[in-house]
Structure 1
Amino acid sequence: MATNVKRKKKAEVMEDDGSMTLTGHLKELRNRLIICAVVFVVSVVITLMYADRLIDILTAMGQGYYTFVSIAPQEKLMQYFRVSLLAAFVITVPVALYQIYAFAKPGLKKSETFFLKLVILLGLALFCVGVLFAYKLMMPFMLRFLSTGIEGADYIQTTTSIESYVNLCLTMFVIFGCVFEMPLVTIILSKMGIIYPELLKKARGVAIVCIFFIAAVVTPPDIVSQCMVALPMVLLYFISIFLSGVFYKPKSDDEAEDDDTEDDE
Structure 2
Amino acid sequence: MATNVKRKKKAEVMPDDGNMTLTGHLKELRNRLIVCAVVFVAAVVVTLAYADRLIDLLTAMGQGFYTFVSIAPQEKLMQYFRVSLLAALVVTVPVALYQIYAFAKPGLKKSETFFLKLVILLGLALFVVGVLFAYKLMMPFMLQFLSTGIEGADYIQTTTSIESYVSLCLTMFIIFGCVFEMPLVTIILSKMGIANPQIMKKARGVAIVLIFFVAAVVTPPDIVSQCMVAIPMVLLYFISIFLSGIFYKPRSEDGDDEEDEENED
Asked if Structure 1 and Structure 2 have the same fold, meaning a TM-score greater than 0.5 normalized by the shorter chain, the answer is yes
Measured after TM superposition, the shift of residue 204 of structure 1 is 2.1
Give me the identity figure in percent.
86
Aligned to 2:146: 146
Tell me how far apart the structure 1 counterparts of residues 253 and 185 of structure 2 sit (CA, whole Å): 26
Unaligned runs of 5+ in 2: 260-265
Measured after TM superposition, the shift of residue 220 of structure 1 is 6.0
Aligned to 2:101: 101
* Structure 1 residues 257 and 114: CA distance shift in structure 2, 3 A: closer
Q: What aligned pairs does 1:73-222 form with structure 2 within 5 A after superposition?
A: 73-215=73-215, 219=218, 222=221
Moved more, 162-171 or 190-199: 190-199
Tell me how far apart the structure 2 counterparts of residues 199 and 11 of structure 1 sit (CA, whole Å): 53
Q: Tell me, what secondary structure is at the counterpart of 1:52?
A: helix
Measured after TM superposition, the shift of residue 196 of structure 1 is 1.4
Alignment-mate amino acid for residue 89 of structure 1 = L
Tell me how far apart the structure 2 counterparts of residues 14 and 142 of structure 1 sit (CA, whole Å): 57
* Normalised TM-score (structure 1): 0.91
Tell me how far apart the structure 2 counterparts of residues 104 and 68 of structure 1 sit (CA, whole Å): 47
Q: Deviations over 1:4-62 (max 9, x none)?
A: 11111111111110110011001000100010011001111110111000000000010
* Structure 1 residues 258 and 80: CA distance shift in structure 2, 3 A: closer
Tell me how far apart the structure 2 counterparts of residues 145 and 253 of structure 1 sit (CA, whole Å): 52
Alignment-mate amino acid for residue 73 of structure 2 = P
* Structure 1 residues 68 and 179: CA distance shift in structure 2, 3 A: same
Tell me how far apart the structure 2 counterparts of residues 206 and 163 of structure 1 sit (CA, whole Å): 38
Measured after TM superposition, the shift of residue 258 of structure 1 is 7.1
Alignment-mate amino acid for residue 235 of structure 1 = L
Q: How many corresponding residue pairs?
A: 258
Unaligned runs of 5+ in 1: 260-265
Q: Deviations over 1:63-117 (max 9, x none)?
A: 0111001111111011001100000000000000000000000001111111111
* Structure 1 residues 50 and 99: CA distance shift in structure 2, 3 A: same
- Is 1:46 matched with 2:77? no
* Structure 1 residues 93 and 257: CA distance shift in structure 2, 3 A: closer
Measured after TM superposition, the shift of residue 235 of structure 1 is 2.1
* Normalised TM-score (structure 2): 0.91
* Structure 1 residues 159 and 115: CA distance shift in structure 2, 3 A: same
Moved more, 75-84 or 203-212: 203-212
Alignment-mate amino acid for residue 201 of structure 2 = K
RMSD: 2.0
* Structure 1 residues 221 and 151: CA distance shift in structure 2, 3 A: closer
Q: Tell me, what secondary structure is at the counterpart of 2:68?
A: strand
Aligned to 1:262: none
Tell me how far apart the structure 2 counterparts of residues 39 and 181 of structure 1 sit (CA, whole Å): 25
Tell me how far apart the structure 2 counterparts of residues 145 and 20 of structure 1 sit (CA, whole Å): 59
Measured after TM superposition, the shift of residue 227 of structure 1 is 4.7
